[in-house]
Structure 1
Amino acid sequence: MAAPGTRAVPGPVPGGSLRFAVLGDSLSEGVGDRVGGAWRGWAALLAEGLAAGGAATEVRNLAVSGALSADVEGEQTPRALAFRPHLASVVVGVNDTLRRTFDIGLLARRLDRVCADLDALGAVLLTACLPDPGRMLGLPPPLARPLARRQRSVNAVVHALSARYGAVHLHLADPAWTDDRTLWSADRLHPGERGHRAVAAGFHELLAARGLAHGTPPAREPAEPAPTRADALLWLATAGTGWVLRRSRDLLPQLVLLAGAELRHWADGTGTAPLDARADAALAAALAATMGR
């Protein structure tokens, strides 16, 4: 296990290239940044500035929209290990918070195994904490609070694992990211081109500070025309509607139950304290079990 900030990315062998594996969900797949009819995203933008002198960077983007931590561990990680990356990004967790089966202890163990396996190969890890979807969607408090509580727990696990494995960590849950709506696409959950460029530039700056990025930083200003209001409305009426319907089958029933618990505690005068304490206890147990091994 590498001490934080001490590992150097191996240089590409003659005739070879720097290998960058991308694990995660729609954020890393590139959703929100469409170029030439396909998703591009922050990882592809970052890859352009990793190596100096025009040296190649081979990107293996394994991220899939809707992926859970179980998918990253069971499906994406074996493929990443076979690729033997020099760099590997692991950014996942929001979809776990949207499931009835959310279990912070299970998520922590999965992410720890993923990070440990990649770290054992000598890969430098890239991680990020993420904004909670309830805030991004502007949900009313009884619906937003349960999601915020879950995302805070996920971010705490990611912070702990990032420190453990010396990961390059980007704070995407900070207000500077979440409050700037020019960074986000029409769905309010995925970055637009400006947002993906900001993520790429943020990672590049952190990598360069460690001496791990040697190329030109990604440009921050969009190269593609910004979506018009008509484009946004069309997305919401077509692809956006499909996204809502898919999520409603597993998210909405769970959110109704969680909101009901919130309202019951408010009605009996206890507020959110018991629910907060329960989440804190589950997080503490998850961190103790994971970090104590």
Structure 2
Amino acid sequence: MTVYANPGAPPGAAVSARPSVPRPLRFAALGDSLTAGVGDRVDGGWRGWAVLLAEALAPADGNVGRPADRPGGRKAKGAAGAEPAPTFRNFATSGALTRHVREQQAPAALAFAPDIASVVVGVNDTLRRAFDIVAIARALDEVCAALTARGTVLLTACLPDPGIMLGLPAPLARPLARRQRAVNALAHELSARYGAIHLHAADPEWVADRTLWSADRLHPGERGHRMIAAQFHAMLTARGLTLGPPPPQEPERPQPTRTEALLWMATAGAGWMVRRSTDLLPELLWLAGSEMRHLARGTANRLDARAEHALTRALTALPPVTPLARMGE
């Protein structure tokens, strides 16, 4: 697939179906540690599904262009007369909240004028004290609207419940589950509003397969990142938007041993918990206390109803959808 830029159009305008000046396909990744590649370590850094997908967007005779400071970074190249190699930029950062995506990542991504952009975020919001589904909905809608207004094809995903992934006891897991359900419902709604390519990464089969997850139980391992990249590639291909073959799904490195996983949890994992405790622990204890009180009274359904009401309020507060600009239109 060749993308043709209109020399007279502003950066990021919807591309033309008629040949003008060919330019490389541009892929931007926005989000948190999942998209930053945590869990898929290569050459002392993180690679991840977005890099794997970007490589699979490259034509057979060229490599995807991406920053040299990324693990395995290569300069774009291609034979004369061949499809220009895609350009990839990863704006995702570990720990990012939806507001960080809107305030910091989205402006940079819009300046890059991507043809394809992934927006996968929200789990960190469920683990913060100031969880506000209305604010999350507003932020994500602004990002999705701005990207699609420029003709960008969106990639989105719903994600597993962190309480289940971490094996938390019910009084802690139930509040987090409500929050993650709300974030996932929002992802579904925005994906439908903006015609996004949506990955259902919260399916029970995905969650239950431990070979897909890293030692921290929150991020995919190499196999999981490869599966995400392969599934997005398949859905892009169904829309006629890919250039190269699908990314290999078999890992290049062995699965971490149980000893390695325990060592990680005792070192890096413990450090993560200490850093997050000042923000997360008080909120989780408050949520757990509220959960236990309602369970004892037999009124836990009220908490579910409040969460549903907040989600409904968030969705109804979204502005009307404007007509979408599409690649090739």
Query: Shared fold by TM > 0.5?
Result: yes
What corresponds to 1:42 in structure 2?
A: 49
Structure 1 stretches lacking a partner, 5+ long: 1-6
What corresponds to 1:118 in structure 2?
A: 147
- Kindly provide the CA deviation profile for residues 89-136 of structure 1, in whole angstroms up to 9, marking residues without a partner as x: 000000011111110011000000000111111110000000110010
> Of 91, 100, 104, which aligns to 1:71?
100
What corresponds to 2:263 in structure 1?
A: 234
Q: CA deviation at 1:229?
A: 2.6
In the alignment, is the contact (CA less than 8 A) between 1:25 and 1:63 conserved in 2? Answer: yes
Matches within 5 A, 1:81-160: 81-160=110-189
Q: CA deviation at 1:276?
A: 0.3
Q: Distance in 1 between matches of 2:20 and 2:320?
A: 38
Greater displacement, 83-92 / 42-51: 42-51
> Aligned with 1:231: secondary structure?
helix
> Aligned with 1:170: secondary structure?
strand
Q: Quick one: which amino acid aligns to residue 36 of structure 2?
A: E
What corresponds to 1:194 in structure 2?
A: 223
What corresponds to 1:30 in structure 2?
A: 37
The structure with more radius of gyration: 2
What corresponds to 1:289 in structure 2?
A: 317
Matches within 5 A, 1:265-280: 265-270=294-299, 272-280=300-308
Q: Quick one: which amino acid aligns to residue 164 of structure 1?
A: R
What is the aligned length?
A: 286
In the alignment, is the contact (CA less than 8 A) between 1:73 and 1:111 conserved in 2? Answer: yes
Greater displacement, 12-21 / 31-40: 12-21
- Work out whether 1:264 is the aligned partner of 2:287: no
Q: CA deviation at 1:58?
A: 1.4
In the alignment, is the contact (CA less than 8 A) between 2:211 and 2:255 conserved in 1? Answer: no
Q: Distance in 2 between matches of 1:251 and 1:231?
A: 26
Q: Distance in 1 between matches of 2:298 and 2:165?
A: 28
Structure 2 stretches lacking a partner, 5+ long: 1-13, 62-83, 322-329
Q: CA deviation at 1:176?
A: 1.7
- Kindly provide the CA deviation profile for residues 222-280 of structure 1, in whole angstroms up to 9, marking residues without a partner as x: 0123222332222222211111111211111101101111111111122x200000000
Indicate the percent of aligned positions where both proteins have the same amino acid: 66
What corresponds to 2:239 in structure 1?
A: 210
In the alignment, is the contact (CA less than 8 A) between 2:156 and 2:191 conserved in 1? Answer: yes
Structure 1: 4+ residue segments shifted above 4 A: 7-15
In the alignment, is the contact (CA less than 8 A) between 2:15 and 2:151 conserved in 1? Answer: no
Greater displacement, 248-257 / 195-204: 248-257
> Relative to 1, partners in 2 of residues 1:193 and 1:13: Cα closer, same or farther, differing over 3 Å?
farther
TM value normalised by structure 1: 0.93
Q: Distance in 1 between matches of 2:40 and 2:206?
A: 16
- Work out whether 1:61 is the aligned partner of 2:90: yes
> Aligned with 1:290: secondary structure?
coil
What corresponds to 2:71 in structure 1?
A: none
> Relative to 1, partners in 2 of residues 1:11 and 1:279: Cα closer, same or farther, differing over 3 Å?
farther
- Work out whether 1:174 is the aligned partner of 2:203: yes
Q: Quick one: which amino acid aligns to residue 24 of structure 1?
A: G
In the alignment, is the contact (CA less than 8 A) between 1:11 and 1:18 conserved in 2? Answer: no
What corresponds to 2:190 in structure 1?
A: 161
Q: CA deviation at 1:291?
A: 5.4
Q: Distance in 1 between matches of 2:27 and 2:171?
A: 40
Q: Distance in 2 between matches of 1:185 and 1:157?
A: 26
Greater displacement, 13-22 / 230-239: 13-22
Q: CA deviation at 1:11?
A: 10
> Aligned with 2:317: secondary structure?
helix
> Relative to 1, partners in 2 of residues 1:8 and 1:165: Cα closer, same or farther, differing over 3 Å?
farther
TM value normalised by structure 2: 0.83
